[in-house]
Amino acid sequence: MSSYPSSDPRSQLATQPAAKAPAVKAYAGANYARFYAEAPQQAGDGFKTWLARGQNFIVAYSDVEADAFLERPAQPDEYCLILPEEALGATVTAGAETVEVPGRSIAFIPPGASKVTVAGKGRLIRIFSSAAPDLAAACSNAASYAEPHANVALLKPWPEPRGGWKVRVYNLDVDAGGTGRFGSIFRCTTLMVNMLDPRFGLRDITTLSPHHHDDFEQGSLVIDGGYIHDIRWPWTPDMRIWREDEHELMAAPSLTVIPPPSIHTSRSVLPGLNQMIDIFSPPRLDFSLKPGWVINAADYPMPGETA
């Protein structure tokens, strides 16, 4: 079930034929991680990091001081770095490569050893696949994923990037250019990240967008303001797995992991700036098939495309 208003670019997705979803025999619950109400899972010289996960992805949200550095000595796969503020840049070293990443950027960092050294004070976000066992074990909700969640397909990485592994940096302030895209969407081999358009003030509750996903979770990372996530699990013939609706208020910073095939929508509820980042793993094929939607699509082939 999907119900997008006609003004929502995702309403175009409804015309695409979808494969028949398997019958639902069990439900997983949503996961809520309120970083503002929890102690950090990692802390060091000049940084505090909160960790929470979905089945296929891990979010690391960090408050950092000048000259702090965050290292991954043996990262098994590619990961994402987001610098949401103009005033906070970073130097990324990956193997023999050193790249300056300005504020208001998103970068994808190759597997292996890497180090992020910050220039300034503020916040940064890293997003990993769940293939990193040390990070997965440290997550605040690690126990929720002791066993794979129902209805979620396991991660199969997409093809390696064109031109080989290297640090790839993109500006977050991308002009939509008349493409009608939904937010600012980027992908790598394991992740899709959508920097949703900021909302100022309360969302109009007459133009919500309840929808569901058959076999993948949605991570909704609130970085400014606050949102209520409205989640409903469809009734099935087996009443024993029915779940109550949830209407969860999540302020910044926080992560909500929304399970399939629950019906969900999110609404900004605070005055001023409300900003959210949606996370998917693996990348979404439906978004990737829309011309112009994925900003860095030229660098990352889809399955079946030649590198």
pLDDT in tens, 95-108: 999 999 999 999 99
Given a cut of 70, whether residue 284 has pLDDT beyond it is: yes
d(Cα 20, Cα 17) in Å, to the nearest integer? 9
Residue 138 main-chain phi, psi, to 5 deg: -85, -10
- pLDDT value at residue 174: 80
Given a cut of 50, whether residue 17 has pLDDT beyond it is: no
d(Cα 38, Cα 54) in Å, to the nearest integer? 18
- pLDDT value at residue 7: 57
Q: What is the mean pLDDT of residues 262-271?
A: 97
A 10 A CB-CB count for 223 gives 20
Task: List strand residue ranges (DSSP E) for 225-305, in order.
Answer: 226-232, 246-251, 254-258, 263-268, 273-280
- pLDDT value at residue 181: 77
- Nearest C-alpha neighbor of 125 from the set 106, 138, 140: 106
Percent share of the chain, pLDDT over 70: 91
pLDDT in tens, 23-63: 899 999 999 999 999 999 999 999 999 999 999 999 999 99
Q: Are 118 and 28 contacting, i.e. CB atoms less than 8 angstroms apart?
A: no
pLDDT in tens, 174-202: 865 555 677 899 999 999 999 999 999 99
Given a cut of 50, whether residue 135 has pLDDT beyond it is: yes
Q: Is 138 helix (H, G, I), strand (E, B) or coil?
A: helix
A 10 A CB-CB count for 202 gives 12
Residue 136 main-chain phi, psi, to 5 deg: -60, -40
Amino acid at 292: G
> Which single residue is written with the structure tokens 């002009």?
175
Average pLDDT, the chain: 93
- Read out DSSP for 63-103? EE-TT-EEEEEEESS-EEEEE-STT-EEEEEETTEEEEE-S
pLDDT in tens, 151-165: 999 999 999 999 999
CA dihedral defined by 116, 87, 191, 304, rounded to 10 degrees?
Answer: -100
- pLDDT value at residue 1: 53
Given a cut of 50, whether residue 259 has pLDDT beyond it is: yes
> Which single residue is written with the structure tokens 């992020």?
116
Given a cut of 70, whether residue 211 has pLDDT beyond it is: yes
d(Cα 199, Cα 227) in Å, to the nearest integer? 10
Q: What is the mean pLDDT of residues 245-264?
A: 98
Amino acid at 224: D
Structure-block tokens of residue 149? 């969640």
pLDDT in tens, 67-79: 999 999 999 999 9
Given a cut of 60, whether residue 16 has pLDDT beyond it is: no
- pLDDT value at residue 4: 47
Given a cut of 80, whether residue 116 has pLDDT beyond it is: yes
Given a cut of 80, whether residue 306 has pLDDT beyond it is: no
